Homo-oligomer: A and B are copies of this chain.
Amino acid sequence: MTPFLTIQQTSASYPVFVGRGILAKTGELVSPRGKVFVITSPELRERFGEPVVASFGGRASLVLMEEGEANKTIDTANAVVTRLIELDGRRDSMAVVVGGGMIGDTAGFAAAIFLRGIDLVHVPTTLLAQVDSSIGGKVAVNHPKGKNLVGAFHPPAAVVADTDLLATLPRAELLSGLFEALKGGVIRDPALFELFEDRRDEMLARDADVIDALVRKKIAVKAEIVSSDERENDLRRLLNYGHTIAHGIEAALGYAGLTHGEAVAWGMIGANAIAVRRGILSQGDAARIERAILQLGPQQIPRLDRQQVLAATAHDKKNTGDSRVMVFPSRIGDCSIVSDVTEKEISYGIDAVLERQGL
């Protein structure tokens, strides 16, 4: 099978396979040098883990870890490392990580630190993981003081994205991925954005052609960005569009009650308000983006302390020194990075989000 594309990063290059029914062919798509460890959760074991193990024809062992954001910790990663050691994992072993972003990030981090890094294959099972977290080489776990504060750059050896899996994805998780894809359209691909305007009903009905087009387009956007810039010094920061206020909202909610995609959706609305006020973005484009977001039906934010949101944005790990960095669209398909954003502006953006609640 030919990869959909090959990502060229500074430290590695790797194929991304996209297709229907390819989960059960994972073993044919990658080339392990030694033992294979298929890492997934008890919940995903039967449907996704076992078929991946079988695809390696007896060469692979299953390693189980607990799911859930509360388990996205250094302790869980260390427990995975312990299993790899118990199963006599070596430097030439391969970790095949099957699951959503939490599993990919946590088991991916385990693969990054075990023996200073073994081969890693991502088999993302959610839309968000397929179009976002499995691409680019970032892995991380949370720290009690914040999300993703402990991690590594560890580009995978391959990504295997089976879009058949999205047919049974819970609706909330589908939506979470859709918002992330919509973000990609605003950043860099007007045609991807227009799918949300022109084919929304088919998209929500999970029409195979529309979903496949969306996944490919969003992966292409992210691939282009991470290929040029592995470590987020410049271009990669564009991916943080919507994330400043999103992270603030998530932190203020204790990372509960909203999906990450929904938080980003509200964060884009907040960022757009600041961009319009600065004269960077037209009111017309801002309205188009907002309409596309709201028509997908993001959940309202359960409760929110504006000051808490604001305080949490100050700890954003994108900040260096005292400057606040944000990404603003100038039109649909084009964004830029602004590094002199004031606390007052962020406060204005948060207010814009709060105003949309209860509509």
Contact A116 B152 (CB under 8 A): yes
Q: Which of B113, B143, B317 contacts A91 (CB 8 A)?
A: B317
Contact A145-B74, Cβ < 8 Å, known A112-B152, A116-B151, A320-B90: no
A117 contacts partner chain B, Cβ-Cβ < 8 Å: yes
List, in ascending order, chain B residues with CB within 8 A of A85's CB: 143, 145-146, 149
Contact B320 A92 (CB under 8 A): yes
**A333 to B: closest C-beta gap in Å:** 28
A34 contacts partner chain B, Cβ-Cβ < 8 Å: yes
Complex Cα distance, B92 from A15, in Å, reads: 31
Scoring A residues 137 to 163 as 1 if CB is less than 8 Å from chain B, else 0, what string do you get? Answer: 010100111100111110000000000
A307 contacts partner chain B, Cβ-Cβ < 8 Å: no
**A33 to B: closest C-beta gap in Å:** 7
In the complex formed, the residue of B with least CB distance to A115 is B317
Complex Cα distance, B145 from A112, in Å, reads: 18
List, in ascending order, chain B residues with CB within 8 A of A318's CB: 91
Number of chain copies forming the complex: 2
List, in ascending order, chain B residues with CB within 8 A of A114's CB: 149-150
Interface residues of A in 86-126 (CB under 8 A from B): 86, 88, 90-92, 112-117
Contact A116-B138, Cβ < 8 Å, known A11-B11, A74-B74: yes
Contact A152 B113 (CB under 8 A): yes
**A229 to B: closest C-beta gap in Å:** 14
Contact A319 B90 (CB under 8 A): yes
Contact A317 B143 (CB under 8 A): no
Complex Cα distance, B74 from A329, in Å, reads: 41
Contact A151 B113 (CB under 8 A): yes
A82 contacts partner chain B, Cβ-Cβ < 8 Å: yes
Q: Which of B81, B145, B151 contacts A150 (CB 8 A)?
A: B81
Scoring A residues 291 to 330 as 1 if CB is less than 8 Å from chain B, else 0, what string do you get? Answer: 0000000000000000000000001011111000000000
Q: Which of B90, B113, B138, B143 contacts A82 (CB 8 A)?
A: B143
Contact B153 A81 (CB under 8 A): no
In the complex formed, the residue of B with least CB distance to A150 is B113
List, in ascending order, chain B residues with CB within 8 A of A317's CB: 90-91, 115
List, in ascending order, chain B residues with CB within 8 A of A8's CB: none
In the complex formed, the residue of B with least CB distance to A320 is B92
List, in ascending order, chain B residues with CB within 8 A of A113's CB: 113, 150-152
List, in ascending order, chain B residues with CB within 8 A of A321's CB: 34, 90, 92
Contact B145 A82 (CB under 8 A): yes
List, in ascending order, chain B residues with CB within 8 A of A320's CB: 33-34, 90-92
A78 contacts partner chain B, Cβ-Cβ < 8 Å: yes
List, in ascending order, chain B residues with CB within 8 A of A315's CB: 88
List, in ascending order, chain B residues with CB within 8 A of A143's CB: 78, 81-82, 85
In the complex formed, the residue of B with least CB distance to A141 is B113
8 of the cross-chain contacts (CB-CB < 8 Å) are A74-B78, A78-B143, A90-B319, A115-B151, A115-B317, A116-B138, A116-B152, A116-B153
